[in-house]
Structure formats: C-alpha cells, structure tokens
Structure 1
Amino acid sequence: VERARAVHPSFDSTGSDSGPGSGPGSDSGSADGDGSAAVDEICRRLDGLPLAIELAAARLRLLTPRQIADRLDDRFRLLTSGSRTVLPRQQTLRAVVDWSWDLLDQDERTLLRQVSVFAGGWDLAAAEALSPRAADTLGALVDKSLVVAAPTEGGEMRYRLLETIHEYAGERAAETPALRAAAEAAHTAHFTSLAETAEPELRSGEQLPWIDRLERDLDNIRAALHRTLVTAPDEAAALRLVFAMGWFWWLRNHRSEGLAWTERAAALGEDPDDPADPRHWPRMHLRMLYFFLAIESHTVSEFRDDPGTLALVRRVRSAFGDEPGPEAARFPGLLWPFTEAFNEIHAEEPVDLRDLLDTALANCRRHGGDWEVGVTLMFRTHMVVDMPGDQADVDEDLAELRALARRVGDRWMGAQTASAAAESSMMRGRYEEARADYEEALRLAREVGAHAESPFLLARLAEIAYRSGDMETAGEGLAEATAEAERHHVRDARPFVSFLGAAIALHRGEIEEARLHAEEAGRLIEAGGPPPHFTAAVIGLAARVEAYGGGGAAAVASAAAALRAARDARCADLIAATLGQGLAVALSLADEPAPAGTVLAAVDSWRRELPRSVPERVEAEAVTARSLAALGAPGLAAARTAGEGLDLDGVLSLVKDYAEAPSGDRAEDSSNGSPDGVRSS
C-alpha cells in the first residue's frame, strides 16, 4: 500500500477498485472485486519480495490490484519498471532473478532446475531421489535464499521454492528437456513408492504418521497423477498411484477428487474379458474403486438408469463374485457384494445381501488378512443388527470384531466396530451403553481424520438423547450433525438428519416443521439407495406426521404400508414394533379406538424385552387413554385380548381395508390430530 501510494496518492486498498481513475468522486466500478483481498493475494504470491512488490505497485498506473493479481502467472512479463534511474537488474523482476542465477555454479543450476518439478515442498529424501548428491547443493541454495527450509512438527526439514523462483526455475528446466524429463520420472517414481509404502500402513496402528506424510506431499502426488494421467499418459504408472491412494481418498474425505482421478485412469484403456490378460484384474479393481467413490457424489438411481453402467456393474460383480478368490479378498475388490445395490431393481430374482456377505466373509477368511476379515464382518454385523430375531449372532460377531480391531490397530475399524456395538445396544434399549460406544466411535473417527463419519455419529448421539426424552440435547446434537455434514459435504447423513429432525419436531407438537423434515427425508431416500429398513422407517414417520395432521384413514393406510415394507424387508423386531405402534397411533387419531387398542397389544407382544423410548411410551399411553375413554375398561380389555396373539401379518390383515382407502379420504374432524398426547409428557 505504501509503494502504491507513491504511484497513486489516492490509492485505497479497502475500496472495491483502487486502480487508475479511482478515488473521491470516481466511478471506476466494482467489477474487479475487493481491493484489499487483491493486495493480500499480490503480496502472498510474490512471497513478500520487496522488488517484486515495488514493481507490482508501479503497475497501478495501468491496472487495478485485481487485474495485477490475475496476471501473476506471467509475472516476468508483467513486473517491469520504466524507470531508468535504477540499476538494470532492478528494472524487471526477471532481471533480478537472472542476476541471482548468474551467481550460481553449474551443480546449483542443475539442482534448481530439477527441484522445479516439486509441488508444494519436499524433504531431503525426495531431493536425493532426483540427485544423489543433493544434500550439499541444496544447502548452498538455502544459503543463497533461493530455497526456503523450515522444520516440520516432527523435526524433519522441509524445503520449498518461493513462487517466483519456482516459476523461473521451471522456465530454466524447459531449456534442458532431457534433464527435466529425468527429474519428472524420478519424481513420479519417488512419490509412487511413498504412496505404495503408506497404503497398508493406513490400515494399521501406525496410520497417523503415514496419513500426515501423505497429506504433506499431497500436492506432489497430485502432480505425479496429473503427469501420468494428463500430460504424459501412462496407464500402468497411473494405476499404481490410483490404487495406492484409493483408500486414503475415501478415508480422508477426498472422495470427489479421487473419483476424478479414477475416471481419468479408466479412460486410458479398455477392460479385457480374459482373466488371464494381465490388464484384467487391475481394470476390475479400478472399476470397483470407481463405484465405491462415485456413490458419494451420485445416487444409486442415477446408476440404475444408465444401461451402460449397469452392464459394467454386472461385469465387475461377475468378475469378483462368481468364484471369489484372492482378488475378491483385498480392497477394493472385497466390496463386490454391494454391487447388488445397483443391480437389484432390474434383477429377476433379488439376491439376499446377507448371503453375499456370508460368501465374501468366508472368502476373506480364506484369502485375506485381519483387516479384510474385519471390514467384511463389520459390514455384515451392521446388516444383521437391522434384521429380525435376537442379537446372539451379533454379540458373537462384535466380540470377534473387537479382537480384530485391537490386533489391527486401525482407528477407522475401531470406530466402525464401536458404532456397530452402539447400534446393537440401542436396538435393545441400552442407551447408556450405546452412548458410550458412539462417543468412542466419534473420538476414533476424528482422531484418524475420517470426517465423513462424524455427521452420522453425531446424529446417532442426538437420537439417543431423543429416545431418552432430552429434546434440548437432541436438537443441539442434530444442529451439530447438520453443520458437520455441510462442512465436509457428507451426503449420506442427510436423510437420517432430516428423519430425526421430523421425529423431534413431532414430539414437540410442531406438526408443520415435522412435515417439512419428513418430506425432505422422503426426497433424499428417493434420490439415493438407503437400506430398506430406513426406507420403511421414513414412510412410517411420514404416516405419523400425517396422522397428527388429521390424515384419518389415509394416514392409517400409509402406516400400514410402512409396516408391510418392514415385513418384506425383514427388518429388526424393534423397527417392526415402532412401525406397528405408529399404525396404532394412526388408528387412534382416526377415531378407531378398538383396532388401535388391538394393534397396540399386538405390538406389546412383539417387543418382548425391548423397552419403549420416552416418546414411544408417551404415545402408547395416549393411545391407551383415548381407547379407554371411548371403549371403557371392558371394551379396552376385549380389544387388547384380541391383539395378544396377532403377528405382523395378522395386524396387516386387520387393517387391510385401509390399504384401499382413497388418498383423499380425510377425517371429518381433525381435532384428534392434535399432538397433545405427545406434548403431555
């Protein structure tokens, strides 16, 4: 700003445009953006070099700060001075760097050309990969302020070029194509080796320092990827890097970036059909990695609607799943059972995902290691928790999972194991155990930087507060989960966040707010491909909202549809009981006190040892109170006796007439839709 005012006395960096003609009374416009931000960018990109800043300020005779900042990629042409009173080497930025270059010896010039291939910085080992004698020469460049050295938190020195010097060194490297090509090849080889060495460590107890190493050199890895995929395509070299980075991209929430690199790699070649072709399995793994990363930014329905994608999914599924072997027992091939999510809508006979996971687990036990067995077992455990029957199998699997997680040391696996245990505890109404496990899962996920896991875990903690009757804590937790999902662009947590927001609003008696949240959850599940039990739960919650809003017979029909969906999807007993109670609520609010009492009694028998949450208990008490008021004690007793032996099919048969009720059928008197029964807690 000081040097700018020497050129323009009226220069004001806080103005929208501080270029020629600006100042009091000027109408230079604001299209160039905030002048202060442009000034900051100029000083930062010129690395604070006094002469470069002086030359940039001189350009204000012609350009605005924003225009100067936008042209710094060509800084050597831009930053010149018309003054003849300064030394020749001070008249242009190129002249002053040329002067420094002329003072270097041949070895120093060679290394400066070589290190121009680095992006963002490097360590001594990386420099020595380019030049075995780099250490002494690098020290000389540091002494001459052409290379900047700074220690990391771990005590290791990192080196970097100022942006101006980096651009200059790159131009000098272009003068020696053979030297630059050799440096680029050595750069690619070094960072490929780093990524491949780190890849298995990312699944171990030593993962944190390796994650830090990859994060520090992410710009260099990106440069190597760009080189092998764009500027000098090399499919074999590119696939090595993509496979080495695949799990890192997913774990550290670089999923959209990883998807872009994976798509580029897939475009480099074709998929051979013959498994004996050496390109076959790498291409199948590449396709599987693509699906794994793509589901984060695409919906299942988008894949299902594309015949070409479906054909490719079937090929990948067939390659890994028809006769599973070693290729299906390592990442990403071990994910093959989940291709069924893309295929099932077109399958003549839908396949049971549990059977596929059983097959995959057996294959990993035969051909994989502890991590592969643990991940596949974890997938299966999460699924079994949501299935009907007792939790004995789940407890056995959880015990094995905990042992595997301790042995492997992977914090992400530990987080997933704790999350599965928490879900199982919550299904059994053990809220304190569930809270402790979810908190453990959240701690481990944050420790390893798996930020995409946080929103859902925070929402689950909010759900425990909701089930315990602490709506204030539930609301705060849900707000935190929403903020985390937006911060880290996590799509898959949003349906559950909307679902829980509807449940909380409904309990508070905020019917319209609940309806908005329920509709949002419905839109999100239509676009995505959530588990069937969650789809049934969303339908059931929407039916309850409809019932409290005076939906009458139509709400009963919706509640029955949700219960039918839960039966068809073989949902867990707790989910079926929750949806069954939702049907009893809808019947009660539709002025059907006898069937409401009957259905509630049937649900009581389904629950066995499963306790009700606080909101469920309040609802059940309200249904019973309304039935008692309408039927009297003998009538209520008779209604409950009729329900004590009813299974799920019996309940659906009881309300089958409502399934054909016109959607426009509404109760004449919507007063019964008042949520007072919910609020009365």
Structure 2
Amino acid sequence: MLSVAPVGRFAELLRRHRAGSGLGQRELARRSGLSERAIRDLERGVRAPRTHSARLVAGALELAGDDLSAFLAAAVPGASVPDATPRPPISPPDRLVGRDTELRSLLDLVTGARHRLVTVTGPGGIGKSRLVAELAVALAGRTDLAVCALDLSTVREPELVGELVADALGCGPSRLAPVDRIAAQLGERRVVLILDRFEQLVAAASEIAALVRRCSGLTVVVTSQRALRVRGERLFGLDPLPAEAAVALFASRAAAARPGFALDAGTRPAVARICRRVGHLPLAVELAAARVRLLHPAELAERLDRQLAVLADGARDLPARHRSLRATIEASLDVVSADARILFRWLGGFAGGARLGDVEAVADALGRDPIWVLATLTELVDIALVRVAAQAATSRYLLADPMAELAGEHLRGDDDHVRVERAVAARMMRCVLHGPAVDDRDAANVRAAVSWATLHDPALVDDATAAALGRFYESTGRLREGQNLLSRLAVRGPKMAWVRAGHLASLRGDLTAAIALAGHALEKSDHLVRAAALNLLAQATVEGGDPTGGRTQLRAALVAARRAGDVTMIGRVFNNLSAVSIELGRPRDAERQQRAALAAKRRSGAAPMELGRSLFNLAEITLELGECATAAARAADAVPLLREGGYLRLAALAETTAALAEIRRGDAVAALAAVERAEALLAGESGDDRRMTAIVGLRVSVVRHATGDRSGAARALRAALPPALEHNTRDRDEAADALHAHARHLVDRDPATAATLLGAGDGLRRRTPTATIRAQRDEAAAAARDALGDTDFAARHRQGAILDLSGLLDLCADVAWRADGV
C-alpha cells in the first residue's frame, strides 16, 4: 500500500537525519546552501519544502536508497512514499510462456540500439512487467552493457522520477539537476535502464527523453499502459496470447497449483473455452488456472460470467494489482482523470460497446459537450481501458468483459445511474427507429434497452418503435430473442409489440404462437394495430394451409388499414393477398396484387426493405409465370434494397431466385455467380433464422446440381433439409420442390434414385404445386417410368414417400455417390 506524506513528515525526517549525521542546523545550512533560518523553519514544519531545496538538503545529508526516496517523496504535499527500493535483475520464479517471439524482438531492439527509448504498451494484465523482467535477466549476463531495473509502481509524483533514476544508477548527491548528474555519471557507457509501471508518471516523459538524448550509450525500456508521446519513442505493443500459447500457460500454472494436472481429452476443450472467455489475457489465464485447486476446468468455464469475482486468487507474493483482475483494472483507473472515470462508468451502460455518436448523445443528455467526450474517450483508449474496433465508416468503442463488468458495477453504485441508463436506452430506441442504422453488433445494446424500458419506462417505445424493433430482430435473424422481448414489452407497452412478436414467431415456424400473439393485439386495438394483427393472422392461416380463410382475414385487414389511412399497411395487405393468389393457383392475380402493393409502398415513402420485399415477390411470381428474364431482373433490383435495409437473408434468397431464373434460361455462369453471391451474403450471419437459411440452401443445392457440382449440391441439400422440415409450414413445399428438381437433373443418369426423390418430394408436399413445378415434376416422373417400367417406378416412388429425415439425409449422400458415377 502507499502512505500519504503530510508536511510534518518531512520535518520529522529532516530532524532525524540531521541528528543522525551529527550536524547542527548552521552546518547543514552551510553544506546545502540554504539559510539557517530556512533549515529551522523546515524542521519546525512552518515552511513547506520545495523539491529543489529538498534535493539540496538530501545531498548535504548524503542520503541514498530508501532514505532518499522517502525524504524526497515527503517533500511533496500529498505525495506517496515508495514502499520498495529498486531491485537488481533476478530470475522470475516461474517460466515465461508464450512470449518467446516478443522477447527475441525486444532483445533485438535493445541490443541493436536502433531505438533507444522503447515503450512496451498494452492493457493491465497483458504481461508487460513479466516480459521486461525476463529481458533484464537475459541482459544481465552480458559484459558489454550494464542493466538497471526500477519498479515505479508505488510512485505517483512525476517530479521524483529523475532523483529515483539518478539514485538507481549510482549517482552521488549533487546540486546538479538529475539529468545533468546522470549524464556526467554515465558518459558514453552502454546502459539499459528498465522503468516498470510508468503510466502514472507520463508527465516525466520529457525528462526521460532528455536523458536519452544526453547519454549516447543509454537505452531506456519503459512499460506503460499508454504511450509517452515523445520524439524518438518506439512503441512495442503487446497483444493477448495466441490461443495455443494461452492454453499452454494455463496448463503450466494449473500444474503448479494442483500437482498432477494435465491437458487431456477431458480438460483441453474446457481450458480452451476458459482462455477464450478471458480474452487470452495472460494475467486472467493465470488467475483462472489457480482455481483448479478447487474446480475442474469444465466447472470453472461455467462460472466465468462474473470474472471479477472468480479471477481473484493470485499468489500472495505478487504485487497487489496482480492478485485479482479487479485490482488490475482498478489500478488502471487510478491513473486516469476524474472525467475519464465518469465516462468509464457511463460506458458500463452500453452492453455491446458504442459508436462515438452513441456516447455523444448520452453525454449530451447528461449535460456534457462532444469535445469533452472526445478528449475523455481518448484518455481511456490511450490507457487501454477501452479498445477501438473498426465498423464500416465509423468506430466502435468496446470494453472487454471484465472491464464492462466493473464499469457496470460502478454505474449501478452511482446516484445518477437511472439517468444514464435511461439516456442509453433512449439513444438505442432512437437509432432503431430513425438511425443511424443498427445491426447485429448492436444486438446486446438493443436487448438491454428493451429490457430496461419494459421494467422502468415503457413510454420509450411507441407503436412505430415496436415495429422498427421487429424489423431489427428479423433482419438480424434473432427471432426467438425478439419474440420474447417484444412479448414482455407488449404487456405494459404498445400493442404493436404483440404484432411484431407474432411476426417473428411466424418466421420461426411457430404458427400457434403467431396466432395467439395476433389475438392479443386484436384486443382493444386502434385501426392500424388491428390491420397489422389481422394481416399477421392471415399470414399464419395461409401458411397453415387455409388460403381461403386467410383471404377473408386479409379483406378485413384491408378495411382496417384504409380506416387508419396507412398506405404502407395497405401495401403489406396487398402483399399477402398476392401470396394467397399464388396458393390458389392464380399467378396473374398475384402479380396484379403485388404491383398494387409496390405502388402503395412507393406512395407512402416506405423503407427500402419494404420495396425490396415486393420486388422480390414480383420476381418469384414472374419466375412461376415462366418469364425468366424479367424474374432475374426484378430479383437483381430487389437485392440492393434488401441489403440497404439490412435484410441479408432475404437478399440471399432473392439471389437464388435470380439463379433459378438463369438456370432455366440456360446461363450456368450467371446462375453460379448468383449462388456465390447468396452464400457470401449469408457468411457470418448469426441468429436463429434457420428457415430462411434452409430455403436458400435448398435452392443453392438445385443450382449446383444443374451446373455439374453434384457433391456440392448434396452437401447443401443435406444441410438444408433438417431445418426445412422442423415445422409443418410451406418450407416443406420448398423441400419438395428441391427434391423434384434434383430428380429432374438426375433422371437420365440414375432413374431409380430419381424415382425415390420424386416419391420423397410427394411425401413432403402440403399443397398443390404451382403449374411450373408440376410440369417439371411430371416430366421427370415420365422419364423415370419409361426407364424403370411402371412396377419398379411405383415401388421406388413408395419407398421415397415413406422416408423419415434420417432416410432423406442418406438419400442426399446417395445422390452425390450415384451422380458422380462411382
């Protein structure tokens, strides 16, 4: 711990050291160059010492080592007295793991003298002190240079740095300034000076830079969480350990904590999971490894949601800041300004990081201006409490899990936490509704904002915001999460939340939940919510196999939408009327209704996503009508609009519509290009929207088969079938269409497998296929029957019709095996 030194402490030390030296006040005054009265006043404590005067008196008293450090520290009001003296390099008690490359690079920098001021940077716990300790040991055996290591962790006063360095380098007492004394002492000698924990002393950076300029043989290696920002500085940044190195470090420290511990099939996966959870941060890995005294790694991995509590059992001989992850972060906070600590606390209100505009909006609501935000955020980034991640044309400011945990604790302990939390929630709701656009990276913030509003201030979310939230959860594929959050919000908040929750349930294939949620919305609703609820109810009814009943509900929805005067809603109803016409085998009516939907949406100034959806539906209809060139063009027009709205899954589906159209036109190159674009749009997509991904996969499999990639087609089909068959929805018809398409492409090579595929498709189908699909199916069936004969065809067809999912998946592999002619 650090002790505070009052003015009286200096007077006491002065009296004690003067008495010990046998000097009177007059003689001490003569030797130091001060007046006798000045010495007398200093001893009585009636005069506060100046740093220069304290140095002169210390030189006259010939103080050194601990005595000198304590004496000079006591001269600064409120100063802290170092509790340890600089130590010569000694071998650390444990082996350095995972930093061999960094150590070699640092040794090369130091011994080559290409850079004579090297700052090792990185967040607390990254291993800066450990690395330079190993550097000191590696250099200690050399005869061409001297090594001096100085631990500054207990020093808080930049004005003491020069004196402490001079003392560590063996400079005697003098009236000269520290830089002059050190330069005289070292001359051109080759010396490596290691200054550990400099982040709280960066105000002394210019003195260190001057020292390097004055001493041609001196190389200074500094560890600091922030750069010194002086000329000639060479930054040496430390990153978290590579995954394998982190696992090796865990194993090494765990074996020391629990003899006999070893990585094996039972521990390695859990250890790797632990290392990932703690971000491969060396200190966190070591603290986690210490816990194997009590916990199996699998048990430990399950308890890392509260890292600050779990990672808190470091060795007693470590510095206090290294005995727990909490202490490490708190030590970093100790060296930043009060404003930076305030902003750190506010950032605890963002569950998923924040963009600059987000932080500025919250700060503005709390009475701070943007310049304050930028300056304060810079301080937090400089000391690595906050990291910056690139995000399109902006940046996202993130807290690592333990830092976010601590920031959240500090925020909840603040009297102003409700204002901060409300400001964050209001900002996220505004972004969802008006922009800037939010995407999957904002999911944690949106989730937290909806949860907070549900509990504390439902008025933050109106009908329009609830609808926007539904679009957000649809576009990010977080269907179950959105359904649950919006359902809870609807109990106390806007009725539109019931509708949006029901729409997400429908997308998941849970038609029972969709109908129930639509029913909740119909209770005591205005015209607009009633229209939206009836539209949802009709969608679920049609999807459940009752297009006639759905049409009746849609007509009622159209009446309510017109009464509400909402042209966008009128467009959505026409969109679903078009789907009913397709179900009833009336594609021309469907096209007319979809054109009306598109026109209504355009009149209302609907969002790009709404326009893109209608263009996609028109592409599907014209593909059914056999107008392949028009279908491909409409799909191509839909894709950028859907992408702009963040609906990447639907954009991928539109690309497969274009691909199917190109296949029918005979352009395999264009079809493959569209399929590859669809797969690229889905790459990295998260969430639980398995249905849309499955439909894309089914279509990709058909196009790949048609273009000769039969193995790729079988893989895509095998991956897409399970989610497509999870619910009794129209997805089964998509699967049936795909199986029939595969049969058509396979029948010339293997009519027996084609007949089985036809039977499997017929067994899955829920509704009458469209005319185009029916014609293609009948064509493949006729070819298979001609090749096999009626009896064999019927047997194969029956075999396919009774296949369960396991049998269907086996059939996919059989398709690839047969088709490749093996």
Q: TM-score, normalised by structure 2?
A: 0.49
Corresponding residue to 1:244 among 460, 468, 488: 468
Matched, 1:139 2:378: yes
Deviation per CA, 1:574-632, whole angstroms, max 9, x where unpaired?
A: xxxxxxxxxxxxxxxxxxxxxxxxxxxxxxxxxxxxxxxxxxxxxxxxxxxxxxxxxxx
Corresponding residue to 2:743 among 489, 502, 521: 502
In 2, Cα distance between equivalents of 1:522 and 1:301: 25
Deviation per CA, 1:176-204, whole angstroms, max 9, x where unpaired?
A: 2x5222222222222333333458xxxxx
Matched, 1:191 2:191: no
Stretches of structure 2 that go unaligned for 5 or more consecutive residues are 1-250, 521-532, 539-549, 686-692, 799-818
Aligned letter for 1:136? A
Corresponding residue to 1:106 among 338, 344, 349: 338
Aligned letter for 2:429? T
Corresponding residue to 1:438 among 671, 674, 679: 671
Partner of 1:216: 441
Q: 1:143 to 1:214 in 2, by over 3 A?
A: same
Q: Aligned pairs, how many?
A: 496
Corresponding residue to 1:321 among 558, 561, 584: 558
Structure whose residues are more often strand by fraction:
2
Q: 1:95 to 1:253 in 2, by over 3 A?
A: closer
Aligned letter for 2:558? G
Deviates most, 305-314 or 362-371? 305-314
Aligned letter for 2:509? H
Q: 1:304 to 1:262 in 2, by over 3 A?
A: closer
In 2, Cα distance between equivalents of 1:173 and 1:306: 36
Decide whether the 8 Å contact of 2:624 with 2:772 is kept in 1. yes
Deviation per CA, 1:446-479, whole angstroms, max 9, x where unpaired?
A: 56559747435524524644xxxxxxx1524523
Aligned letter for 1:141? L
Pairing 1:149-548 to 2, within 5 Å after superposition: 149-152=387-390, 154=392, 156-176=394-414, 178-198=415-435, 214-229=439-454, 231-232=455-456, 234=458, 237=461, 240-247=464-471, 249-251=473-475, 253-266=477-490, 268=492, 282=496, 287=499, 289=500, 293-298=504-509, 312-313=537-538, 317-318=554-555, 320-322=557-559, 329-330=567-568, 334=572, 336-338=574-576, 353-354=590-591, 356-357=593-594, 359-364=596-601, 366-368=603-605, 375-376=613-614, 378-387=616-625, 430-432=665-667, 435=668, 437-439=670-672, 441-442=674-675, 444-446=677-679, 448-449=681-682, 452=693, 454-462=696-704, 464-465=706-707, 473=708, 475-479=710-714, 481-482=716-717, 485=720, 492=731, 494-511=735-752, 513-526=753-766, 534=773
In 2, Cα distance between equivalents of 1:462 and 1:407: 26
Matched, 1:46 2:278: yes
Deviates most, 543-552 or 213-222? 543-552
Partner of 1:129: 361
Deviation per CA, 1:33-91, whole angstroms, max 9, x where unpaired?
A: xx122222333333444444333222222211122222223344434438654555555
Paired residue secondary structure (2:397):
strand
Aligned letter for 2:508? S
Deviation (angstroms), 1:116: 0.8
Deviation (angstroms), 1:115: 0.6
Stretches of structure 1 that go unaligned for 5 or more consecutive residues are 17-34, 200-209, 272-281, 466-472, 560-677
Partner of 1:78: 310
Paired residue secondary structure (1:166):
helix
Aligned letter for 1:10? G
Partner of 2:165: none
Structure of greater Rg: 2
In 2, Cα distance between equivalents of 1:174 and 1:416: 45
Decide whether the 8 Å contact of 1:130 with 1:183 is kept in 2. yes
Structure whose residues are more often helix by fraction:
1
Q: 1:353 to 1:293 in 2, by over 3 A?
A: farther
In 2, Cα distance between equivalents of 1:70 and 1:414: 38
Aligned letter for 1:495? A
Corresponding residue to 1:6 among 256, 264, 268: 256
Decide whether the 8 Å contact of 1:114 with 1:173 is kept in 2. yes
Partner of 1:579: none
Decide whether the 8 Å contact of 2:739 with 2:757 is kept in 1. yes
Deviates most, 240-249 or 404-413? 404-413
In 2, Cα distance between equivalents of 1:545 and 1:299: 37
Aligned letter for 1:216? R
Aligned letter for 1:182? R
Matched-pair identity in %: 24
Q: 1:551 to 1:216 in 2, by over 3 A?
A: same
In 2, Cα distance between equivalents of 1:74 and 1:264: 26
In 1, Cα distance between equivalents of 2:580 and 2:324: 60
Deviation (angstroms), 1:114: 1.0
Deviation per CA, 1:273-302, whole angstroms, max 9, x where unpaired?
A: xxxxxxxxx46xx63x55654444317799
Paired residue secondary structure (1:63):
coil
Query: Which structure has more RCO (C-alpha within 8 Å, separation ≥ 6)?
Result: 1
Deviation (angstroms), 1:414: 8.5
Aligned letter for 1:3? R
Partner of 2:144: none
In 1, Cα distance between equivalents of 2:680 and 2:644: 11
